[in-house]
Amino acid sequence: MFAKAVRIKHRAVRGALLFAVTAAALTGLVWLRSVALGAAEEFPQSAMLAVETITLAAPETLTVQQGFAGRVVARRESALGFERAGLLADVAVDDGEAVEKGQVLARLDTRQLDAEKEALTAGRRAAEARIREAEAQLNLAKVTAKRQKTLSDAGHVSIQRYDEARFEEDAAAARLASAKSALKRTEAEIIRVDAALALSTIAAPYTGEVTARYLDEGAIASPGQAVFHMIESEALEVRVGLPLHAVDGLDVGADYEVLADTARATARLDRITTKIDDATRTVTAVFLPHADSGLKSGQVARVRIEQALDKTGFWLPTKALSESTRGLWSVYALEPTDDGLYRLSRRELEALHVETGRAFVRGTIREGDRIVAAGVHRLAPGQLVTSR
């Protein structure tokens, strides 16, 4: 009985203590709330946290500038060689040299061809002489045959004499035809030798630069073997691989900015290929730099393309954004209160595009909203602030 009485007494004491603590806590909360309300009424606005804000203008369409990498290449480049084999007698230029169109770059040894041409030229002169001789003989045969026909008709000579004169005329005509044919064969041989002589010289097909020299004097050049590599220096192209979505909105003939190392140039869009590259899944856009662009063949270049996307929203400084949940972002909007202060309201946003220092967003904000521009790490939803 005594133990039971002690337990009842202890329960009573614990209950009394719990009631006292609860009462004290409720009293303290009521007191703190009254103090806070009084402080809010008496606390001057100049002492409240002042935040920097921006006011949202009308929504904009997203326009982005993207840079696509490509290469600066010569519009024409060639591996130059001889069409015939021969001893390389003269190499007139070295790699790195600028050359003009038609300038002779190298020659083969042509002594054998020169001798052959000299012999053929003499043969042509002999053939021409034989033609003149045959023409004279034909003219004489024609006159003789005519005369013999007149005498034969008058009965002064036999028909045999007339037939001999007539057949001699035919023989003279045949000799003339043979002489002319021989002249044509000789002239054809001269043309062949001239062509071989022409093929013994490499001339620059256009104005440009020799980028490589592969053979020196004394080497035996094979047909088609490269002796030089050259590029056209006056005409460059910037070839850029573009994804299909970037092609939409490009204007053929319009100018675009090109950046390559320290060079900044303007290039005209010349054409866009229709075939999609199997490896990169891009199409090739060809830009033609304007004169004095400062670009060099072989450089890596970036073409800046501005695109208007079918999305509307607002540009905000990245300092105004704080990370939210599910890949979203948030900002603080100012909502006015009756006492002239502003209460912070958290707004969820989707970032559509991010650049250095700013982001294009859309979400639960609208035109005219005042948004905290910076220092969002110090703020909390529902906090009272002033604006500056």
Model pLDDT for residues 225-245, shown as the tens digit of each residue: 999 999 987 788 999 998 887
Report strand pairing: 384-387 vs 50-51: parallel
* Tokens describing residue 234: 């006056």
Q: Provide, for the chain, the percentages of residues in helix, strand and coil under a 3-state DSSP scheme, each rounded to the nearest 5.
A: 35, 35, 30
In whole angstroms, give the CA distance from residue 78 to residue 104: 15
Q: Which tens digits make up the pLDDT trace of 131-177?
A: 999 889 889 888 888 888 788 777 777 788 877 888 888 888 898 99
240-244, 264-268, 283-287, 309-313: which has the minimum mean pLDDT?
A: 309-313
Q: Which residue has the higher pLDDT, 34 or 167?
A: 167
Q: Check residues 332 and 39 and name the one with the higher pLDDT.
A: 332
Band (pLDDT 50/70/90 cuts) for residue 189 is very high
**Structural contact between residues 258 and 296, judged by C-beta atoms closer than 8 angstroms:** no
pLDDT reported for residue 299: 86
pLDDT at site 44: 52
Rg (CA), the chain: 50
CB atoms within 10 A of CB 372: 23
Which pTM was predicted?
Answer: 0.54
pLDDT average, residue stretch 180-185: 92
Give the per-residue pLDDT at 34. Answer: 41
**DSSP, residue by residue, 241-263:** EE-HHHHTT--TT-EEEEEETTE
CA-to-CA dists, residue 102 to 99, 105, 107, 202, angstroms: 9, 9, 13, 9
60-64 average pLDDT score: 81
| Lowest-confidence pick of 51-55, 169-173, 224-228, 303-307 | 303-307
Residue linked to tokens 């020659």: 107
Distance CA 383, CA 340 (A): 14
**Higher-pLDDT residue of 37, 279:** 279
How remote is the C-alpha of 102 from its chain's centroid? 30
Residue listed under structure tokens 């904009």: 60
One-letter amino acid for residue 192 of the chain: R
* Listed range (123-137, 181-195, 298-312, 339-353) with the worst mean pLDDT: 298-312
CA–CA distance, 359 with 371 (Å, rounded to integer): 14
Please, what sign has the CA dihedral across residues 290, 293, 299, 300? negative
Q: Which two tokens stand for residue 41?
A: 């009424």
Element (H, E) at 93: none
pLDDT in the model for residue 47? 54
- Res. 286 pLDDT band, cuts 50 70 90: very high
Nearest 5°: the CA angle 7, 11, 17 is 145
Residues in a beta bridge with 237: 73
> According to the model, what pLDDT value does residue 201 have?
94
Q: Please report, in angstroms and rounded to a whole number, the separation of the first and last CA atoms in the chain.
A: 75
Backbone torsions φ then ψ of 290, nearest 5 degrees: -75, 170
Coil, helix or strand at residue 143: helix
Please name the residue that has the structure tokens 């064969």: 185
Check pLDDT > 60 for residue 28: no
For residue 50, pLDDT beyond 50: yes
Mean pLDDT of the region 203-219: 93
DSSP labels for 171-215? HHHHHHHHHHHHHHHHHHHHHHHHHHHHTTEEE-SSSEEEEEE--
- Confirm if 161 and 148 have CB atoms less than 8 A apart: yes
Question: Mean pLDDT for the chain?
Answer: 83
At 340, is the secondary structure helix, strand, or coil?
coil
Label residue 7 by pLDDT band (50, 70, 90). very low
Residue showing tokens 């004095």: 292
* CA atoms of 151 and 132, how far apart (whole Å): 29
